[in-house]
């Protein structure tokens, strides 16, 4: 059976790193490229983070492309310290002085268009960060979405509960215009793992301890980059997240990746039109579900609501514990 072809668009923080490793460990997946976008850190830090993940997983042959350094409209604000200032937990180590030479010269947006055009209706695109690269791609080539097999997004919210802003999730809030464009103009099959979906399907901290204490290079890497990061402190998160969702370990981007790798991970979903709000001091970047069909949109998005957490746990465990699948 032919492998699923994948392009991963990422703002590589710790959960992105976990999601990428999940894809690399999947025997049914072939990663064509990783495209980088600002978000958890500057786009240069994101590029370096992706190279580190590929190095740990012995998959350095996968090309990495630098993409958008900021949002479509206005200037980017300061980067979040959710995963440390560099996106990978600020663990001191020697920087690779040759990292820029390892990044492809082609821009991420043109590379994305080229690879999808060369493999029409065969490529699954998984977007784990702000959607700026995707929005630019459809503006450069309006036919781009029609050439995709499917799109999986980690982002947005379904209950008006945000994490960066009161009503907006981080990836959409970082570039609301791009999120709006993608969910209006990408008419390919679109699947969305929202902020609430990820939180409501959390795993236990006991599982996390077992995950990162496996005897493998990938597990040791994940244990190192989470060791000083407040986002992986159950005591800190007890005060920050329990207001809405209860305690637990959540690898946000991995939920979107898992659904792409194995669709049976998702057990319940809603299929409906959606729209991203661009106005307002409180609701800019919020995603609205049009359950009453008020917008009269033809395109519907599959919005995940429940997952098989046991299957999710097995995929995560395998991503750090098994040898990498060579391409």
DSSP string across 102-170: GSBSS-HHHHHHHHHHHTTTTEEEEE-S-SHHHHHHHHH-TTHHHH-SEEEEE---SSS--SSBTTB-H
Q: H or E stretch including 290?
A: none
Which runs of consecutive H residues, i.e. helices, occur in 28-107? 43-56
**Which pLDDT score, from 0 to 100, does residue 230 have?**
67
Distances (CA, A) of 151 to 148, 154, 158, 257: 7, 10, 18, 11
**Which pLDDT score, from 0 to 100, does residue 243 have?**
46
Task: Give every strand in the sheet of 4-10, ordered side by side.
Answer: 64-66, 29-36, 4-10, 123-127, 150-154, 190-193, 301-307, 266-272
Block means of pLDDT (10 residues each) for the chain, 327 residues, are: 93 96 97 96 94 96 97 71 70 77 97 98 98 98 98 95 86 96 98 95 94 96 87 62 64 97 98 95 93 94 98 97 53
Q: What is the pTM of this model?
A: 0.94
Record the tokens describing residue 141, joined without a space: 């080539």
Q: Domain map of the chain by residue range?
A: 4-321
Beta-bridge mates of residue 10: 36
Residue 6 near residue 31, CB atoms below 8 Å: yes
**Which pLDDT score, from 0 to 100, does residue 235 have?**
63
**Which pLDDT score, from 0 to 100, does residue 281 have?**
84
**Which pLDDT score, from 0 to 100, does residue 161 have?**
81
Residue 174 to residue 25: CA distance in whole angstroms: 30
**Which pLDDT score, from 0 to 100, does residue 242 have?**
46
Q: Which CATH architecture has domain 4-321?
A: Alpha-Beta Complex (3.90)
**Which pLDDT score, from 0 to 100, does residue 59 have?**
97
Record the tokens describing residue 253, joined without a space: 């981007």
**Which pLDDT score, from 0 to 100, does residue 91 have?**
74
Question: Which residue has tokens 């077992």?
Answer: 210
Q: What are the two backbone dihedrals, phi and then psi, of residue 119, each rounded to the nearest 5 degrees?
A: -135, 60
């Amino acid at each position: 059976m032919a492998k699923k072809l994948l392009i991963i668009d990422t703002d590589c923080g710790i959960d992105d790193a976990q999601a990428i490793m999940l894809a690399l460990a999947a025997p049914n997946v072939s990663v064509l490229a990783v495209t980088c976008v600002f978000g958890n850190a500057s786009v240069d830090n994101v590029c370096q983070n992706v190279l580190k993940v590929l190095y740990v997983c012995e998959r350095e042959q996968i090309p990495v492309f630098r993409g958008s350094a900021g949002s479509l409209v206005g200037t980017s604000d300061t980067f979040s310290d959710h995963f440390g200032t560099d996106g990978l937990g600020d663990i001191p180590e020697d920087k690779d002085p040759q990292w820029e030479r390892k990044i492809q010269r082609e821009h991420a947006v043109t590379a994305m268009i080229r690879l999808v055009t060369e493999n029409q209706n065969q490529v699954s695109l998984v977007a784990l960060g702000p959607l700026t690269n995707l929005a630019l791609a459809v503006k450069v080539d309006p036919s781009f979405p029609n050439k995709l097999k499917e799109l999986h997004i980690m982002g947005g919210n379904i209950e008006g509960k945000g994490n960066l802003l009161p009503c907006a999730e981080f990836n959409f809030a970082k570039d609301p215009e791009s999120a709006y464009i993608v969910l209006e103009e990408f008419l390919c099959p679109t699947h969305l793992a929202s902020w609430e979906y990820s939180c409501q399907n959390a795993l236990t901290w006991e599982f996390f301890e077992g995950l990162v204490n496996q005897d493998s290079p990938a597990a040791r890497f994940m244990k190192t980059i989470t060791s000083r990061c407040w986002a992986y402190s159950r005591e800190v998160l007890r005060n920050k997240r329990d207001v809405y969702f209860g305690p637990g370990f959540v690898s946000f981007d991995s939920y979107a990746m898992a659904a792409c790798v194995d669709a049976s991970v998702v057990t319940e979903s809603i299929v409906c039109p959606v729209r991203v709000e661009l106005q307002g001091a409180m609701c800019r970047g919020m995603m609205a579900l049009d359950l009453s069909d008020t917008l009269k949109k033809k395109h519907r998005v599959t919005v995940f609501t429940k997952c098989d957490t046991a299957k999710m746990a097995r995929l995560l465990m395998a991503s750090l514990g098994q040898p990498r699948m060579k391409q």
